[in-house]
């Protein structure tokens, strides 16, 4: 390609930034990104609401995660027991996947797909697309050191 095109692009402000990094690395990069540019990342930037100070440097970063992590006090999430002793966040996510896997298996086994899907799971909204399970995660943003679900993001619904 023509290197002059790269120089032209580098002089223009971006419309958004995607941080493909875990929390520790993203925390180092965030202060160097203009605050008026939207910043997106994966759930790996979020270390949990109990670490408010660690999250604080990631102000306004948008990410997706599961209701199990973002809304642990939601009644539809609270019906499922938490592991004792508490697990790491990565293991909590895996545990939640097991909860939804079991629930989805019940739906498929009893041939209740028309009545039960989409399923409001603890990992997000689950649906079938042919023979594939699709998951719609919850949109969130870090504000004041807390992961907050964004409006319009589908929260967990009913417990089953």
160 pLDDT band, cuts 50/70/90, is very low
In a domain, 21, yes or no: yes
pLDDT digits (tens, 9 = 90+) for 22-53: 999 999 999 888 888 899 999 999 999 999 99
In a domain, 78, yes or no: yes
In a domain, 157, yes or no: no
pTM for the whole thing?
0.81
Which residue spans within the chain are E strands per DSSP? 17-19, 39-41, 61-65, 119-120, 125-129, 132-136, 138-143, 146-149
In a domain, 122, yes or no: yes
In a domain, 124, yes or no: yes
Residue 41: what are its φ and ψ, rounded to 5°?
-155, 175
Domain count, the chain: 1
Provide the domain limits for residue 44.
Answer: 3-149
In a domain, 129, yes or no: yes
């Amino acid at each position: 390609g023509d290197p002059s095109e790269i120089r032209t692009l580098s002089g223009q402000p971006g419309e958004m930034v995607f941080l493909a990094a875990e929390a520790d690395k993203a925390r180092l990069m965030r202060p160097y990104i203009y605050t008026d540019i939207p910043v997106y990342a994966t759930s790996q930037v979020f270390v949990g609401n109990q670490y408010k100070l660690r999250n604080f440097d990631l102000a306004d970063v948008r990410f997706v995660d599961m209701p199990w992590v973002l809304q642990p006090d939601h009644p539809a999430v609270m019906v499922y027991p938490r592991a004792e002793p508490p697990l790491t966040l990565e293991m909590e996510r895996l545990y939640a996947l097991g909860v939804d896997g079991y629930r989805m298996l019940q739906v498929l086994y009893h041939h209740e797909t028309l009545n039960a899907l989409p399923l409001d799971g603890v990992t997000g909204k689950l649906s079938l697309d042919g023979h594939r399970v699709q998951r719609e995660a919850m949109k969130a943003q870090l504000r004041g050191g807390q992961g907050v679900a964004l409006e319009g993001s589908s929260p967990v619904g009913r417990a089953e």
